[in-house]
Amino acid sequence: MFPWNIFPFNKDMKNPPHQMKPEDIDKYIKNIMGQMFPQNMQGTGTPDFMKGFHTAPVTNQQPYSAPLNSSVFETHDYVFVRFPIKNEDWLKEMKLYHTSNQMIIEHIPEKDDKHIITLPAIVRKKGSSASCKEGYMEIKIPKNVDMQYSEIDVTEIL
């Protein structure tokens, strides 16, 4: 049998938890929190040690452009990124880049817009292709199968 009577909350509580009122539980929690934290840490105010720090003023930034409404999925060998092309002129203005784990799409719908899409798998540098069919741009990027791994020595820790 577990020795429940050694816990401190049994001494402070007169009634079992199912017989207590919510006000009693709230009072008990505040009492315990008051014992555990110093006075300047309680409440919603800023603690004294934080008074020296000032938050940076909020500047008016340009609102973000509308999301690209892209979809990303992977197969065994490829990662696919699809997004709608609403205007044929986008194909002339658009720039596509990718890193090992991100797809970067620039200049659509506006010249200054930049969309970064996180890819679900690590991809290769070469071998990607793009095609536009039925109003959708589809980018196909081959996955990178990285079988290299290194052992981490943990015998010297102790």
| pLDDT, tens only, 101-118 | 999 999 998 889 999 999
Predicted pLDDT of residue 59: 43
Predicted pLDDT of residue 158: 64
Write out the CATH class of domain 71-142.
mainly beta
**Mean per-residue pLDDT for 48-52?**
50
Cβ contacts of residue 106 below 8 Å, gap of 6+? Answer: 94, 95, 96, 97, 113, 114, 115
How far apart (Å, rounded) are the C-alpha atoms in residues 8 and 1?
A: 18
DSSP character string of 17-44 = GGG--HHHHHHHHHHHHHHHS-GGGSSS
| From-to residues of CATH 2.60.40.790 in the chain | 71-142
Q: Compute, in degrees rounded to 10, the torsion defined by CA atoms 36, 38, 41, 45.
A: 130
The residue type found at 80 is F
pLDDT digit string (tens) for 57-86?
Answer: 444 444 445 678 899 999 999 999 999 999
Q: How far apart are the first and last CA of the chain?
A: 36
DSSP H stretches of helix in the chain:
9-12, 22-36, 90-93
